[in-house]
């Protein structure tokens, strides 16, 4: 009887690990799946990806497939990586089965940032190859291995260090438009937010200097992300090849006397940085803030 129950349990667990992605076999199947209301990105899927003349030779040599299945977030459920057509050219998305629903991640960065991009799967891991859209740059493929961590796909780091980070200062500048201009300063669990122009969060307008407290768990997650993305060895300057974008200024004080400064025009420096920016932007709407003073926005 015990053996029978064990077999039933194993069989039930196996059933739980199957999902609607497993049954997708054709381009039409994949296209219908993307049309579900919970899928937040859309591409047009065909049996062969249509690249332009700048990219087709690379795509043919790499044998890029329109879709690939795998467990890319490591939760035992089948996910799917899809490359299809958007208005400005081929784009790649990854749809993850989180058990309680599907989560969609955009993998490619878009034509403004890259001339070509290709995503392959190696050992159930995403290998991202791209040619950046930079003035007078040579057509050279840059390769990154991407891992699903901190709720997103970021550059893999097999040996993250454990720096003692004492303070973080992050400023998001304005842009030619309505980009929020603000500064966050984190020291231990204390966080200060100086809100300049266009800081409307959760339908409330903020302007001035505010204070709040981070939970130990939230601070731990931020520090783990910084260490995992190897902030110490990132470039000091990043910039996109197009105009009218906001700029991120990041200063990290660590290991007693060291400091790292990063300027990132366009906020596209690395995937790890972009995830950090997302986390820091979100703090404005996730914490309870006490106003300390006003500032002059003239």
Over its length of 298 residues, how does the chain's per-residue pLDDT go in tens digits? 555 555 544 444 444 578 999 999 999 999 999 999 999 999 999 999 989 888 999 999 999 999 999 999 999 999 999 999 998 889 999 999 999 999 999 999 988 888 899 999 998 899 999 988 765 556 788 999 999 999 999 999 999 999 999 999 999 998 888 999 999 999 999 999 999 999 999 999 999 999 999 999 999 999 999 999 999 999 999 998 888 999 999 999 999 999 999 999 999 999 999 999 999 999 999 999 999 987 655 4
Q: What is the SS3 assignment for the chain?
A: CHHHHHHHHHHHHHHHCCCCCCCCCCHHHHHHHHCCCCCCCCCECCCCCCCCCCCHHHHHHHCCCCEEEECCCCCCCCEEEEEEEECCEEEEEEEEECCCCEEEEECCCCCCCEEEEEEEEECCEEEEEEEECCCCCCCCCEEEEEEEECCEEEECCCCCCCCCEEEEEEEECCCCCCCCCEEEEEECCEEEEEECCCCEECCEECCEEEEEECCHHHHHHHHHHHHHCCHHHCCCEEECCCCCCCEEEEEEEECCCEEEEEEEECCCCCHHHHHHHHHHHHHHHHCCCEEEECCCCC
């Amino acid at each position: 009887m015990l053996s029978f129950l064990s077999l039933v349990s194993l069989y039930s667990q196996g059933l739980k690990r199957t999902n609607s992605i497993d049954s997708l076999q054709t381009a039409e199947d994949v296209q219908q799946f993307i049309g579900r209301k919970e899928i937040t990105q859309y591409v047009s899927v065909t049996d062969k990806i249509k690249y332009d003349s700048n990219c087709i030779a690379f795509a043919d040599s790499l044998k890029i497939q329109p879709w690939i299945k795998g467990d890319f977030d490591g939760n035992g459920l089948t996910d799917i990586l899809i490359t299809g057509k958007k208005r400005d050219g081929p784009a790649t998305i990854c749809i993850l089965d989180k058990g309680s629903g599907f989560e969609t991640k955009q993998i490619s960065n878009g034509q403004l940032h890259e001339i070509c991009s290709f995503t392959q799967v190696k050992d159930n891991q995403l290998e991202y190859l791209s040619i950046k859209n930079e003035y007078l740059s040579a057509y050279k493929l840059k390769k990154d291995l991407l891992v699903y961590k901190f709720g997103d796909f970021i550059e893999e780091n097999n040996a993250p260090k454990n720096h003692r980070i004492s303070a973080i200062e992050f400023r998001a500048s304005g842009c030619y438009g309505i980009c929020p201009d603000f500064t966050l300063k984190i020291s231990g669990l204390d966080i200060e937010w100086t809100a300049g122009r266009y800081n409307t969060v959760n339908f409330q307008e903020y302007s001035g200097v505010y204070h709040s407290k981070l939970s130990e768990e939230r601070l731990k997650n931020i520090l783990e992300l910084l260490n995992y993305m190897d902030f110490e060895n990132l470039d000091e300057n990043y910039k996109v090849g197009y105009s009218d974008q906001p700029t991120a200024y990041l200063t990290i004080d660590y290991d007693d006397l060291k400091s790292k400064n990063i300027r990132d025009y366009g906020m596209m420096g690395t995937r790890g940085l972009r995830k950090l920016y997302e986390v820091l932007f979100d703090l404005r709407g996730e914490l309870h803030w006490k106003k300390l003073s006003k500032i002059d926005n003239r």
